[in-house]
Amino acid sequence: MDIKSLKRSRASFKSKLTIFKTYLDTLLPCKELNNLQIRELTIRASKIQEMYNEYDSTQTEIENLSEIPGDEYLERESFETNYFSTVAAAQEALDKHTAASAARDNQSVTGSSAFSALQIRSKWHTNRGQLQLGQMVLIKDDRLPPNRWLLGRITAVYPGTDGINRVADVLSTSGTLRRAYNRLCPLPMTLDQDTPAPRGPAC
């Protein structure tokens, strides 16, 4: 390949780096990136890193063919200074926002676990008493995540043959629903005795 063609290829690499840097500059001021933005930045950064080997090969050929290689060495220095600073900024942004996204996802899982814990406590591991009129409950729905279960109040109870209330009518925003005890998650009416008393002013 002649030196003019090589220089056209080099110009293409420089253009791609400029496009990536412009894209990155729009993200750097953001305090947080969503998962889609993180994924796109990861893909773009990967492509730019792959491009360097092609640039290096092209630039080396230009230097070997040039009558004044000193000028081409300066051209390489300028490109690499811009390239490595841009890639470093992209990697720093990815590390920062990926960690923040992971922290948000962990908080979401923790919140969902709190609802799951309510369902675990409602099973027959120990005798926690019977369903009571006026008690607040969550109505279990296998089609929805726990944080979208309906909240309701028990308006009627129906004892089984053993005299224990195992079915109840629950008033919710969807009307009155009749559910078995194992489809209900009673909300605590009082604090557990083992829970330490709060100290200091409330937040």
C-beta pairs of 32-35 under 8 Å, 24+ apart in sequence: 32/97, 32/100, 32/101, 33/93, 33/97, 33/100, 33/101, 34/101, 35/101
Could you tell me if 59 and 71 are in contact, meaning their C-beta atoms sit under 8 angstroms apart? no
What is the structure's pLDDT at 117? 59
Tokens of 154: 């028990």
CA distance linking residue 149 with residue 144, whole number of Å = 7
Among 54-58, 68-72, 82-86, 109-113, name the one with the lowest average pLDDT.
109-113
What is the structure's pLDDT at 159? 81
CA distance linking residue 168 with residue 158, whole number of Å = 6
Buried b or exposed e, range 59-76, using 16+ CB within 10 angstroms: bebbbeebeeeeebeebb
Sequence-ordered list of residues with C-beta below 8 angstroms from that of 52, at least 6 positions apart, any chain: 83
CA distance linking residue 88 with residue 199, whole number of Å = 46
Could you tell me if 147 and 111 are in contact, meaning their C-beta atoms sit under 8 angstroms apart? yes
Among 86-90, 111-115, 148-152, name the one with the lowest average pLDDT.
111-115
What is the structure's pLDDT at 170? 92
Sequence-ordered list of residues with C-beta below 8 angstroms from that of 65, at least 6 positions apart, any chain: 2, 3, 6
Question: Side chain identity at 158, as an amino acid letter?
Answer: Y
CA distance linking residue 11 with residue 8, whole number of Å = 5
pTM to 2 decimals? 0.50
What is the structure's pLDDT at 111? 59
Question: Side chain identity at 55, as an amino acid letter?
Answer: Y
Could you tell me if 38 and 97 are in contact, meaning their C-beta atoms sit under 8 angstroms apart? yes
Q: Looking at residues 53-76, what average pLDDT do you find?
A: 91
